[in-house]
């Protein structure tokens, strides 16, 4: 899975961050996937975002994830920005078959927006010393924001200074409390949405990655 080119610049900065700490190559790969998902799901893809994604066209290493990333890169290479913007709008702001996906924990877990999952998340963010940048109008339980938080927890770029180098236990707790119950279902819905073309492999990448993360955290002590 070749995602080394997707570093901190791949993340849309919806949370306030500090200088990152040194992380292992494996953890940086995890952080890069979270950063990629955050960038693609925060707003319609910019030219910069599409160029980053196009660089994944050679990522196929024979694994399911590598194939999904390569498919995403190849599709991005054939997708003009206007078409990608239109697809994003139809998927996340449209109605009817294949549209109107609401990618928040509250909606997927309760059927309502701004519900208890959002309140629980805000309390956890407060306790962790993580502040919202205010650059985006979506609620904090939006999938893009949660992926960005995971990116920051892995790299050590989030939280108060006393929490630098947040360990696997914090990552596991955040994932299990705020992503495990619903994120894979969201990505399956995105993968199967009638309006999804460029975003179909985004759904596949997210679905596969959530499964890998869930399994790894379950095995972690």
Q: What is the pLDDT of residue 99?
A: 63
Question: What angle, rounded to 10 degrees, do the helices at 143-155 and 168-178 form?
Answer: 170
Q: Which of 140, 105, 108 is nearest to 123 (CA)?
A: 140
Question: What angle, rounded to 10 degrees, do the helices at 47-54 and 81-93 form?
Answer: 100
Q: What residues does 80 pair with on adjacent strands?
A: none
Question: Rounded to whole angstroms, how far apart are CA atoms 149 and 174?
Answer: 9
Q: What is the 3-state secondary structure (H, E, C) of 208-219?
A: HHHHHHHHHHHH
- 59 within some domain: yes
Q: Which of 201, 150, 214 is nearest to 40 (CA)?
A: 201
Q: Which of 140, 171, 138, 142 is nearest to 155 (CA)?
A: 171
pLDDT along the chain (221 residues), means of 10: 42 51 87 98 97 97 97 98 97 74 97 97 94 86 97 82 63 97 98 96 98 94 62
Phi-psi region of 100 (alpha: psi -120 to 50; beta: other; left: phi over 0): left
Total domains, the chain: 1
Q: What is the pLDDT of residue 15?
A: 56
Q: What is the pLDDT of residue 125?
A: 96
- Asked if 8 and 155 touch (Cβ cutoff 8 Å), the reply is yes
CATH number, domain containing residue 120 = 1.10.3480.10
- 1 within some domain: no
State the residue range of the domain holding 134: 8-219
- Asked if 106 and 139 touch (Cβ cutoff 8 Å), the reply is yes
- 2 within some domain: no
Q: What is the pLDDT of residue 41?
A: 98
């Amino acid at each position: 899975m070749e995602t080394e080119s997707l570093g901190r610049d791949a993340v849309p900065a919806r949370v306030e961050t500090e200088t990152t700490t040194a992380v292992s190559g494996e953890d940086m790969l995890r952080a890069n996937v979270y950063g990629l998902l955050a960038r693609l799901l925060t707003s319609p893809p910019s030219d910069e975002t599409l160029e980053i994604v196009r660089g994944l066209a050679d990522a196929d290493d024979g694994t399911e994830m590598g194939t999904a990333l390569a498919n995403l890169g190849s599709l991005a290479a054939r997708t003009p920005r206007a078409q990608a913007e239109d697809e994003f709008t139809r998927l996340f702001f449209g109605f009817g078959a294949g549209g109107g996906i609401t990618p928040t924990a509250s909606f997927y877990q309760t059927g309502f927006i701004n519900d208890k999952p959002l309140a629980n998340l805000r309390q956890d963010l407060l306790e962790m010393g993580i502040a919202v940048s205010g650059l985006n109008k979506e609620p904090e339980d939006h999938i893009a924001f949660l992926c960005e938080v995971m990116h920051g927890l892995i790299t050590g770029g989030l939280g108060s200074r006393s929490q630098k180098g947040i360990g696997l236990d914090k990552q596991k707790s955040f994932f299990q409390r705020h992503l495990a119950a619903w994120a894979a279902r969201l990505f399956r819905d995105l993968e199967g949405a009638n309006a999804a073309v460029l975003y179909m492999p985004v759904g596949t990448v997210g679905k596969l990655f959530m499964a890998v993360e869930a399994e790894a955290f379950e095995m972690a002590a």
